[in-house]
Every structure is written in structure tokens, then in C-alpha cells.
Structure 1
Amino acid sequence: MKTASLPSHFQAFYQKYPDKEFDFLINTIVLLNIFLIQPHTMRYVIAFLLPWLSLMFQGKIGAGILCLILQITIIGWIPATIWAVTSLNRMYADRRTEAVIAAMRNQNR
């Protein structure tokens, strides 16, 4: 395993114990590090794997239940995933718009 892609404290650990098989643990830690640094990534993974859960995390309980019914069928999985991802994109766009409006209001004061 290449240690260049690891954070420095993991590189030191990996170099200290090179004979141990920590590849699974280190890969898991690196993935968790990515998800903690970029929480949007984790939301998109959830939207892809469990679209109904993504909608419920956004506070859309009715849509989440309907999406779960869609997801039960294999054919409905694709529309459910598209629905969850577009809903997630809309949520992030609304947050950006609210931040711009708040900045404009603070600038005018």
C-alpha cells in the first residue's frame, strides 16, 4: 500500500508496523476521513444507496415513505435515486441562496 495518500500520523503508524496487515483498517480510516472532511460526499452516498433515508434526513418524511415504496421494486430504484439526488442538490442550492441573501442584507446595514 502506498503511504503517500495517507495523512502524516497514519504514515508514521504504517511505517512503524510495516509487517502488520492494517490495509483494511487504514483504508477504512481514509474513507472515514474523506467523509468527515466532506460531509456532502456521505450524503450523496446515502442518496445513492438508500434514497428514502436521504429524503428523511432532509425532513421530507412523506416523500421518504413514497421513495421507500419505489425503492422496494428494482425498477423503481433508479427514479428513487434520481429523486433523492436532485432533492439533495436543491437543498444545497437553497442553502447557498440563503447565505447570499443573508450576506447582501448584512452588507446593506
Structure 2
Amino acid sequence: MAADSDSNTTNSVLRHLAETETVDYHVTMLNAVNRERTAFGLPKLCLNNKLRNAALLHSRDMAKRSFMSHTGSNGSTLSSRAATQRYRWTFLAENVAAGHATVAM
């Protein structure tokens, strides 16, 4: 879902806030991250549906409202979004970015 606007300039910027919900995108991103981790001798990561759902809901919120932040429009935080998905954690972090046409690092 992309943000709507009458301005071509705004559309150009906001098109990067459009969602990509394909599994291929998630796998492509995970593979890119794991290549970097492997290069530094770190263990590979795996996909987690609870965290993926929390991230997807937060991404939709940001795309719909045209903003980028670690805090949701409803005041949600990373830890509250994970808790809502019933994910149990001891350490949690997130990266938030926008404007990238690909997952290339």
C-alpha cells in the first residue's frame, strides 16, 4: 500500500514507503544480513513469524502515515510490539530504514 498524494514530488518520495510483503523480499534481506554476519564469523539468523508480524504491522503503520520511527503512531515500542505478538525475549533491537529500492547493503 503506497501513500496517496497529488504532488509528483511527494509521490516520488513516498513511493519508497510502499510495502513489500513477499516472502522473497524477507528471504533476500535475511540472506544479505547472513552474508555480512558470516563474513565476521557470526552465526546466521533465521526468520521468526512473531517478529516478522510485529515488524510488518509497524511498517504498515509507518507507510500509511508517511513517517519513520522506532515508535509507532499509537506510541508502541519495539518491546510492546513484540509482546503483542507473544514473543519472549531477553534482548531485542531493530533497524528502521526507508528509501531503499533494494535490500543491497
Q: Do these two structures clear the TM 0.5 threshold for a shared fold by scoring above it?
A: no
Shorter-normalised TM-score: what interval?
Answer: under 0.3
Report which of the two structures shows the higher radius of gyration computed on alpha carbons. 1
Higher relative contact order (CA 8 A, sep 6+): 2
Instruction: Return the TM-score normalized by structure 1.
Output: 0.26
TM-score normalised according to structure 2 size: 0.27
